[in-house]
Structure 1
Amino acid sequence: MRAEVQTFVADGPLPDEDAEGEEIDRRVAQLDAIARPVTGDEARALAECFGPDDCYGVAWTLLHLIETGPNPVFVARPGPDAGEWQHRLWQRCVNGGLVSDEPGD
């Protein structure tokens, strides 16, 4: 895994919208430093970095970065304890025909 991805992942989930602007700007800069496309391992690690909300659109940037890697990131529907953004990423894979959401497939 590249150093830029390791740095982002090590800093944990994205902050929520109540975070200081400097913190949000720092995380945006970290995302911008990651060259596209990402690898499968990087995409899976990044998929664990969504925060509790969209962080002023930064979560969308993270989602689009993850989607530059080989898809699907998830091969099974995320569990009920997964966050909104993991479910959103899963649904985008279903909608794109990359995975089936039918039981038993």
Structure 2
Amino acid sequence: MRPEVAAFVADGELPSGYDDGDEIDRRVEQLDAIARPVTGEEARALADCFGPDDCHGVAWSLLHLIETGPNPVFTVRPEPDANEWRHRLWQRCVNSGLVADEPAG
């Protein structure tokens, strides 16, 4: 895993959009430092970094970064209580025909 990705992942989930703007700006800078495309390993690790909301659109940037890697990121539907962004990634894979939809677990 490249150092830029490892640093982003080590800092954990994205903050809430209600958190300190400086922290959000710092995470945006980290995200921007990651060259595209990402590897499959990096995409799976980054998928664990979604926070509680869209973080002023930063979550969308993270999602699009993840999608530069080999797809699908998930081969099994996320658990019902998984983060909404994991469900969104799953549905985007289903919609693009990368995985077959399956009943919720």
Q: What TM-score, normalized to structure 2?
A: 0.96
Contact 2:77/2:102 (CA < 8 Å) preserved in 1? no
Q: Alignment length, in residue pairs?
A: 103
CA RMSD of aligned residues (A): 0.7
Aligned residue number for residue 78 of structure 2: 78
Aligned residue number for residue 8 of structure 1: 8
After superposing on structure 2, the runs of 4+ consecutive aligned residues of structure 1 that deviate more than 2 Å are: none
Aligned residue number for residue 22 of structure 1: 22
Question: Secondary structure of 1:29's match?
Answer: helix
Aligned residue number for residue 54 of structure 1: 54
Shift of 1:9: 0.2
In structure 1, C-alpha distance between the alignment counterparts of 2:5 and 2:19, rounded to whole Å = 21
Q: What TM-score, normalized to structure 1?
A: 0.96
Structure 1 segments unaligned to the other structure (5+ residues): none
Structure 2 segments unaligned to the other structure (5+ residues): none
In structure 2, C-alpha distance between the alignment counterparts of 1:77 and 1:98, rounded to whole Å = 12
